Amino acid sequence: MARCQESVCLKCRREGQKLFLKGDRCFSEKCAFERRAYAPGQHGQRRRKKLSDYGTQLREKQRAKEIYGVLERQFRGYYQKAVQMKGVTGENLLQLLERRLDNMVYRLGFSTSRRQARQLIGHRHFMVNGKVVDIASYLVEEGDAIAVRDNSKQVRSIVESVEAVERRGVPEWLTLDKNTMTGKIVTYPMRNQIGSELQEHLIVELYSK
């Protein structure tokens, strides 16, 4: 599987906003974007040029891909699936991205970032409905229960993340039992519950051309 080895801090600087890709570091003084809030590269401090409509749409798609850690082929697959679903295509797309297991692990507070969540999932630390799942792109369904395996409840990164979950909070469409380290998907998220600053209609416009 292809992987991007680029520094995640460069991605935030390129997009011109914090994408919170590095967990707790993004909330600290060590955040690279706080110290250098300009684009990377030799000419990064020059004034950003005004983007064309196409450029604006493209940057919005790239921003969504960076936030959820999805590559182009997989992202386009989510879009095509969103088109076939009932409802608003853009909202369907965000809902599919939110239903990824790595995003669920992050939203429930079992990890400090989606990147860390993918690593923990790959190491088989989580179960869905009592069965171990090691596929980060696994799409959860309403009523599914996500739990930390008994043998993994002492993993330091998971314990520390759960202890600090109040800082980010748990979305209202999820429930979390910190004592048993178990979360549940109460319902699929509505657009106003996702809380993202993404303008999904621009992504739909881009792919509709």
Residues 165 and 154 in one domain: yes
Q: pLDDT tens-digit profile of 52-103?
A: 999 899 999 999 998 899 999 999 999 999 999 999 999 999 999 999 999 9
Structural domain contains residue 169: yes
Report the 10 Å Cβ neighbour count for 74: 15
Residues 165 and 129 in one domain: yes
CATH number at residue 86: 1.10.1050.10
Residues 16 and 89 in one domain: yes
* Residue 72 per-residue DSSP state: H
pLDDT score at 197: 81
Structural domain contains residue 3: no
Q: Average pLDDT, whole number, for the chain?
A: 85
What is the domain count for the chain? Answer: 2
CATH number at residue 130: 3.10.290.10
**CA 202 – CA 60 distance, rounded (Å):** 7
**CA 45 – CA 153 distance, rounded (Å):** 45
pTM: 0.80
Residues 93 and 104 in one domain: no
Which residues have CB under 8 Å from 122's CB, separation 6+?
A: 134, 136
pLDDT score at 72: 94
Identify the domain containing residue 91 by its residue range.
8-97+196-207
For the chain, list residues with pLDDT below 70.
Answer: 1-49
pLDDT above 70 covers what percent of the chain?
Answer: 77
Residues 108 and 167 in one domain: yes
Burial class (CB in 10 A: 0-12, 13-18, 19+), 69: buried
Structural domain contains residue 2: no
